[in-house]
Chains A and B, each alone.
Chain A
Amino acid sequence: MLSINHPNFEKELCDLILQEGILKKYTSQSIVANKGDYKDYTVFILDGLLKVTLGKETNNLLLYHISKEDNSVLTFMNIFTNTPIQIAVTALQESTLLFVSNTKILKWSSKFDSLEQELFKAYHKNNKCLLQTVKNVMTNSLEQRLFEYIKNKTIVYNDSHIHISRNEIASDLYASKEAISRTIKKLENDNKIIRKSRSIILNSSNIF
């Protein structure tokens, strides 16, 4: 039984979303949207965890995550003009999403303040997270970026053990696999992380 568990949405709005929304389910690592796609939709996240990346074949830098917990809306930042999207979105866990056309979203947001507020929240979050990433990439060393990445992943996955392949880490940080391996060793030598056989964990005496 599907439901939109949003504390501020009126029942009428929830009903509209469920009625008009197109339901899609994604498995881990499946692509929700690719850079260059036309997606004239705004997406409600019923369940799951997504990552937003630059989306270019040779540069798929991780920009930020989207999960139901901190934001129930995924917007492709294209709500007025159906221009090709500028980022890629990938599911990191099994996710259930509801796609609603932007024309309907714009119509409903004039009627329901709660929806408008939620959209503003999503825009705000996207910009805030993207700026954070931009600052990080432009001013921090790979070592600092990798450490932040591990801390961040610990939070979004809610798991102290990070099971992410070196390939994915290298892609997320736009660095070579060799640089990542080297940097992981350095972080371990500095007692910031501990390498296990198939995962990495933060050294808890050194967190934050």
Chain B
Amino acid sequence: MDLSISLADFFSDTTLISQISKYAEIKTYAPKDCFFYEGHTHNYSTFLLKGTLKLFIEQQQKKILLYHLTSNNVCIVSLTNLFSEYPIDFSSEAMDHCTLLSIPLHKMTEWSSQYKEFRDIIITSHQRHYNSMLNVVQMFTEEPLERRLLSYLKLESIHQDSLDIKISHQQISDELNCSREAISRTIKKLEQSNKLTRKVRSISLTSSSF
């Protein structure tokens, strides 16, 4: 595989690119592949090149959604596992076909001091995750369940590329960490205010929900 050509889509420094082709590994994942587990350590750091990831925490076998990470620019996924083997504090699942880069930890410090582009990626990745988390905690504390549920459904709809979302009430209640009754009740309310229609095996968002 000619790594250097595809890497040029993501990095500009040619010396950095040749280093990456030499030492890093490219991994691809299919939708629903789970590859990070809370508490695990790796001797490499993971960068997202293409695709969308779902970041979540597990509690009592429920997967509680934190946020999604999309590959707008190269973004580091594992912030705790950056320069040393430190346990990862969330789990991650691919939402579509994803391409990730694994960079050995011992190269991280070296490249971050040698290549400005690399240092910049580290900084912007931290900022992206930070802002996503601020958003999550704000939504969780302030927004009523109706609005949180609608936001969630809109994201799923963008993801499934359809206004018609195939998803179970159980999955929604797990990811939003509330009871199935509350979710069912809230879906009914959203239907009454014409934001969606309940179908037999899916939820269909209406244009007025956007």
Contacts and interface: CB of A to CB of B under 8 A. Distances in A.
A77 B130 contact: yes
A120 B112 CA distance: 10
Contact of B130 (A59, A109, A127): A127
Interface in A88-134: 109-110, 113, 116, 119-120, 123-124, 126-128, 130-134
A160 B89 CA distance: 29
A33 interface: no
A130 B116 CA distance: 26
| Residue of B120, B123, B129 contacting most chain A CB atoms (<10 Å) | B123
Contact of B119 (A59, A116, A131, A135): A116
B137 interface: yes
Nearest to B135: A86
Given A59-B138, A134-B136, A120 B83 contact: yes
A78 interface: yes
Contacts of A54: 134, 137-138, 141
B112 A86 contact: no
Contacts of A78: 127
A128 B89 contact: yes
B113 interface: yes
A63 B112 CA distance: 28
B131 interface: yes
A52 to B, nearest CB: 10
Interface residues of A, number: 33
B83 A61 contact: no
Interface in A23-73: 54, 56, 58-59, 61, 63
B64 interface: yes
Contacts, number: 90
B126 interface: yes
A4 interface: no
Contact of B126 (A110, A124, A135): A124
Contacts of B122: 120, 123
Contacts of B59: 139
A113 B111 CA distance: 12
A134 B90 CA distance: 11
B80 interface: yes
Contacts of A58: 142
B10 interface: no
B55 to A, nearest CB: 10
Given A80-B124, A138-B64, A127 B138 contact: no
Interface of B: 57, 59, 64, 66, 79-80, 82-83, 89-90, 112-113, 116, 119-120, 122-124, 126-127, 129-131, 133-134, 136-138, 140-142, 177
14 contacts: A59-B141, A77-B131, A80-B120, A86-B134, A110-B116, A116-B119, A127-B126, A127-B129, A127-B130, A127-B133, A130-B134, A135-B89, A138-B64, A139-B59
